[in-house]
């Protein structure tokens, strides 16, 4: 879930798949708009590490591209 | 392997290496996950059928509802004998039978049972009236900080009618117990993703000591699980046992210090009784002395919890990886998610429920 906006009292407005909801971010006080949060029972418990997430996406892109080559096994 | 997606393309060489490593080992390799969400993900993805015959995935005591002793349900039900008391719980506790056979669902419609999505709802629920509100604290280190945050907020607001009936459990002491159990015969642990997001890697370091086992903190996507299994097989083949982080996009080595701080403000370790594993030192969480007045057990004079298994139910052995769900004589024959006999079939994260919903045949 992506943080849209920080709200008072340790809350944030988050969005996923076009739906908006409010979650408690008092356990991840450094969360900022644009961060992706890991949510458990209405509380953010961690902020996704964007560099690590992009590393995985890069691996997927490379694997997908490799697989599309006509000579791929 | 035909590759309909980048995920499959990325998984193919990993699965190939898993097959090669497993082939080089020439014996059965027993890997245990200790996380209900892993249990469901593995079954839903049909992962077991992708693995070599000699690699066995076992579900350990990672479903919080399943490891909660039956006596806890009876005690929770007995709280409703208190006039006007409101019991608040996550929905997955509703259908779990107590030792008496009754479940909380039998009290639906009485207006005294509140099903919560989030502990954040607790302060408002308690503020809404003078009635005592007791929250059933069931879960691991992922859930406990969220409940602690809600209780601390209520305390700051001066709310005095909110109580905790704790059955919280912590994962590392259970791993120690499994490590010491000669019957488990495990070769490695897929360590829980979200519990580890809170704990970090340090609480698992005992796995690196002599007599320890390989461990890999693992995420929940099929690719994550394949990556974690590969990490364990590489260690097993190399004869090492380290704690690895195969889920670095979520789990920091130091975990979430703020979540642990909030947890430790409200709760402290105590010995706890697990279904299947019995009493494990330091594996539960009780209220710290400044907050003991919030303890439902003391406030309402509850006796200690006890274990009791429904007749013929294999849940306790399933939780230890000693019995495959499908091998339980009740599985699908009298015990189904619609009509469960034991908690492993009740909780959506239970090994038996996952096996029933996503039943697969090995290739």
Query: CATH number, domain at A48?
Result: 2.30.30.140
In the predicted model, is pLDDT for residue B363 greater than 50? no
pLDDT value at residue B220: 94
Single out the residue of B56, B35, B93, B92 nearest to residue B327, CA to CA. Answer: B56
Q: Is residue A59 part of a domain?
A: yes
Can you give the pLDDT at residue B247? 97
Tell me the pLDDT tens digit for each residue of B226-262.
Answer: 999 999 999 999 999 999 999 999 999 999 999 999 9
Confidence of residue B306 (pLDDT cuts 50, 70, 90): very high
**Ramachandran sector of residue B273 (left: φ over 0; alpha: ψ -120 to 50; beta: rest):** beta
Residue A58 sits at the chain B interface (C-beta within 8 Å): no
| CB pair distance less than 8 Å for A46 and B118 | no
More confident residue, B152 or A72: B152
CATH class of B65-170+255-299: alpha beta
What CA–CA distance (Å, rounded) separates B135 from B119?
A: 9
- pLDDT exceeds cutoff 80 at B265: yes
Nearest by CB to A56, from B194, B249, B262: name it.
B249
As a whole-number percent, the residues of chain B with pLDDT over 90 amount to 82
A57: in domain: yes
pLDDT at B182: 85
Model pLDDT for residues B119-165, shown as the tens digit of each residue: 999 999 999 988 999 999 999 999 999 999 999 999 999 999 999 99
The SS3 assignment for B124 reads: helix
Cβ partners under 8 Å of residue B27, min gap 6: B54
Q: What mean pLDDT do residues A46-73 have? A: 80
Residues in B closer than 8 angstroms to A52, CB to CB, are 248-249
A73 within some domain: no
CB spacing of B258 vs A27 below 8 angstroms: yes
**Are A66 and B9 in contact (CB < 8 Å)?**
yes
B231 Cβ contact list (under 8 Å, min separation 6) = B214, B216, B218, B244, B246
Interface of A with B in 35-54 (CB under 8 A): 38, 40-43, 45-46, 48-49, 52-53
* Chain-chain contact of A42 with B252 (C-beta, under 8 angstroms): no
Task: Please give, rounded to a whole number of angstroms, the shortest distance from the CA of B333 to a CA of chain A.
Answer: 33
DSSP string, B218-282: --SSHHHHHHHHHHHHHHHHHT---EEES-TTT--TT--HHHHHHHHHHEEEEEEEETTTEEEEE
- For residue B254, give the chain A residue with the closest CA: A46
In chain B, what residues touch A27 (CB-CB under 8 Å)? 145-146, 149, 256, 258-259, 262
Q: List chain A residues with CB under 8 Å of B197.
A: 38, 45-46
A66, closest residue in chain B (CA to CA): B9
Contact B258 A28 (CB under 8 A): yes
| Mean pLDDT for the stretch of residues B319-348 | 91
pLDDT at A65: 80
Is residue A29 a part of any domain in this protein? yes
- Mean per-residue pLDDT of chain A: 89
How high is the pLDDT of residue B361?
Answer: 46
pLDDT of residue A70: 55
The two tokens of residue B220 are 């929940």
Do A45 and B259 make contact, defined as CB atoms within 8 angstroms?
A: yes
Q: What are the domain boundaries of chain B? A: 65-170+255-299, 315-357
pLDDT band at B276 (very low <50, low <70, confident <90, very high): confident
Calculate mean pLDDT across residues B1-12: 76
- Residue A72: the pLDDT is 42
A65 to chain B, closest Cα gap in Å: 8
Which band of pLDDT confidence, cut at 50, 70 and 90, is reported for residue B362?
very low
Which residues span the domain enclosing A36? 2-68
What is the rounded average pLDDT of the residues B314-321? 90
Q: Could you read off the pLDDT of B162-181 as tens digits, one per residue?
A: 999 999 999 999 999 999 98
**How many domains does chain A fold into?**
1
Whether the pLDDT of residue B310 is over 90: the answer is no
Whether A60 maps to a domain, the answer reads yes
């Amino acid at each position: 879930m992506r943080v849209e906006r920080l709200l008072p009292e340790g809350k944030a407005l988050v969005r996923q798949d076009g739906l908006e909801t409010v979650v408690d971010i008092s356990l991840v006080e450094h969360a900022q708009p644009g961060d992706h949060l890991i949510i458990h029972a209405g509380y953010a418990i961690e902020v996704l590490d964007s560099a690590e997430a992009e590393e995985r996406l890069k691996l997927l892109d490379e694997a997908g591209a490799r697989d599309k080559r006509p000579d791929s096994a | 392997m035909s590759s309909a997606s980048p995920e499959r393309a990325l998984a193919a060489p990993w699965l190939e290496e898993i097959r090669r490593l497993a082939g080089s080992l020439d014996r059965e390799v027993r890997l245990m996950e200790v996380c209900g969400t892993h249990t469901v993900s593995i079954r839903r993805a049909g992962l077991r059928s992708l693995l070599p015959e000699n690699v066995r995935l076992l579900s350990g005591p990672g479903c919080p509802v399943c490891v909660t002793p039956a006596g806890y349900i009876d005690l929770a039900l007995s709280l409703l004998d208190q006039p006007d008391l409101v019991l608040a719980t996550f929905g997955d506790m509703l259908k779990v039978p107590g030792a008496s056979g009754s479940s909380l669902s039998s009290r639906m419609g009485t207006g005294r049972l509140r099903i919560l999505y989030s502990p954040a709802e607790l302060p408002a629920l308690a503020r809404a009236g003078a009635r005592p509100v007791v929250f059933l604290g069931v879960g691991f280190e992922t859930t406990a900080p969220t409940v602690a945050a809600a209780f601390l907020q209520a305390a700051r607001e001066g709310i005095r009618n909110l109580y905790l009936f704790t059955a919280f459990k912590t994962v590392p002491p259970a791993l120690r117990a499994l490590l010491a159990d000669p019957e488990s015969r495990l070769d490695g642990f897929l360590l829980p993703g979200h519990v580890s997001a809170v704990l970090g890697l340090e609480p698992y370091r005992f796995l690196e000591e002599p007599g320890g086992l390989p461990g890999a903190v693992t995420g929940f996507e099929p690719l994550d699980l394949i990556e974690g299994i590969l990490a364990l097989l590489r260690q097993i083949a190399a004869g090492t046992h380290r704690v690895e982080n195969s889920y670095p996009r979520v789990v920091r080595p130091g975990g979430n210090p703020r979540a642990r701080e909030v947890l430790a403000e409200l709760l402290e370790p105590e010995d706890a009784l697990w279904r299947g594993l019995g009493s494990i030192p330091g594996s539960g969480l009780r209220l710290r002395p400044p907050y003991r007045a919030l303890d439902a057990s003391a406030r309402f004079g509850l006796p200690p919890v006890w274990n009791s298994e429904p007749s013929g139910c294999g849940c306790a052995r399933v939780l230890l990886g000693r019995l495959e769900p499908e091998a339980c004589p009740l599985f699908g024959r009298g015990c189904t998610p619609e009509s469960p006999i034991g908690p492993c079939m009740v909780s959506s994260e239970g090994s038996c429920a996952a096996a029933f919903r996503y039943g697969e045949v090995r290739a």
